[in-house]
Amino acid sequence: MSCFSLVVTTSPIDNKTNTALAFANELVQQGHTINGIFFYQDGVLSANKYVQAPSDEINLLTAWADFNKHTSTPLHLCITAGERRGLTDSDDEQLNHNIHAAFTISGLGELVVLTSAADKVVQL
């Protein structure tokens, strides 16, 4: 079996993000390992704990958090891309910490580590 690193660059309203989650689930079901999922560019918006999904759509934040919980696959959030899109981990009273706890705040260096340790890298 192979070790994968996934890079999610699409926003949570893009169908490709749902495809990324389905792909990750399928990899695990087939016995592959995922050493980490790196959320970059608009993909970081998947970590915003204040985004609400319509009742007739999948809540990708909850789905990613459940995936993390059941597989222990790290969900890495590029903090630079996140800050550019209004995400913050600050505890400052004027800012609001809005990153879901399932996500680990990371930088591009973590992406290098993940991809160099993987047999295959897939960007969605």
CATH number at residue 35: 3.40.1260.10
Compute the distance between CA of residue 108 and CA of residue 7 in angstroms, rounded to an integer.
Answer: 11
Q: Into how many domains does the chain fold?
A: 1
**pLDDT (0 to 100) of residue 6:** 98
Q: What is the value of pTM for the model shown?
A: 0.93
**Phi first, then psi: what are they for 118, rounded to 5°?**
-100, 150
Domain span including residue 114: 3-123
Provide the mean pLDDT of the chain: 94
pLDDT class for 96, splitting at 50, 70, 90? confident
**pLDDT (0 to 100) of residue 64:** 97
Q: Tell me which H or E stretch contains 108.
A: helix 108-117
State the catalytic residues: 78
pLDDT class for 54, splitting at 50, 70, 90? confident
Residue 73: pLDDT over 80: yes
